[in-house]
Structures are given as C-alpha cells and as structure tokens.
C-alpha cells in the first residue's frame, strides 16, 4: 500500500466539496436516497473521492434498499480499514479509506453471500470510473 496521503485541513477544504468534506473528514452521513450512486448501475470502479484509491468494484455492488450504495466487499482488502464507532448511541463499525483516512461509511453483518457483509457507503465519498463501453 502506498504511503498514507497527509493533507492539512485547509488543503482538504479546498479540494473537496462542502458535502464531501463533511463526510470524508468529519464523518457525516449524507441523507439516504440522495446520493449520486445509490441507484447507479454502470460497471466500473468506485474510487475514493479524497485520494483516488480504488475502493469498490461495481461487481460487488448490490441493492440493499437502504438508500446508500452498498457493496459486499472492497476491491482490495487493504484498501479500507475499519474502526469501532459508538457514536449516535449505536454500536457500528466505521469504514475509512486506508490511504487518506477519509470516512466512507459503515459496515454491517447483514449483507448477501458470499461475505455476509454490507458496506454502506456515502455516494459523495466515491468517484465512479465507469468501464469503457465496448
Ligand atoms: Fe482515500
């Protein structure tokens, strides 16, 4: 894995949209059903909106009905890291980009086969690079 991206708060504020900043750097959650990728069906690779690291393949995307784009596994196990999150009076597992530390969403254990995991990710934390049409 490449060295972690280290940027100052000021640099992040300049590079990210206000909503991306709130999610990636302040761990906010976008409102359900509002994100650009919730119903996205195109094939491609979802990259980190903060640093461009490949995080989730469309092959692992499924319709969870939650209102957020959901994946059953990351593109590479080393691309994301998890952390226990007891905020909001809930016991959840937070997911962030291993390269830049940007908050992505949470992972729950009620996903489909083959992993049984549901990575519930904020659309604005992602940037889809669609596979070129054949
Ligand atoms: Fe990142």
pLDDT tens string 2-49: 558 889 999 999 999 999 999 999 999 999 999 999 999 999 999 999
Please state, in angstroms and rounded to a whole number, the distance separating the CA atoms of residues 115 and 40: 22
Give the residue numbers marked as catalytic.
120
107 C-alpha to ligand 1 centroid (Å): 17
102 C-alpha to ligand 1 centroid (Å): 5
User: What is the tens place of the pLDDT at every residue in 48-77?
Assistant: 999 999 999 999 999 999 999 999 999 999
pTM of the shown model? 0.93
Give CA torsion, residues 110, 114, 115, 116, to 10 deg: 10
4 C-alpha to ligand 1 centroid (Å): 9
User: What is the tens place of the pLDDT at every residue in 98-114?
Assistant: 999 999 999 999 999 99
């Amino acid at each position: 894995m490449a060295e972690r991206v280290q940027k100052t708060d000021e640099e992040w504020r300049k590079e990210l949209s206000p909503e991306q900043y709130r999610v990636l750097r302040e761990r906010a959650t976008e409102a359900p059903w509002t994100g650009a990728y919730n119903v996205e069906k195109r094939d491609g690779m979802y990259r980190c909106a903060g640093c461009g690291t490949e995080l989730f393949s469309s092959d692992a995307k499924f319709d969870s009905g939650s209102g957020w784009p959901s994946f059953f596994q990351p593109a590479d196990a080393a691309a994301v890291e998890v952390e226990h999150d007891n905020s909001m009076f809930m016991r959840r597992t937070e997911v962030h980009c291993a390269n830049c530390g940007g908050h992505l969403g949470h992972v729950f254990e009620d996903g489909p086969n083959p992993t049984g995991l549901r990575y519930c990710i904020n659309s604005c934390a992602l940037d889809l690079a669609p596979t070129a049409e054949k």
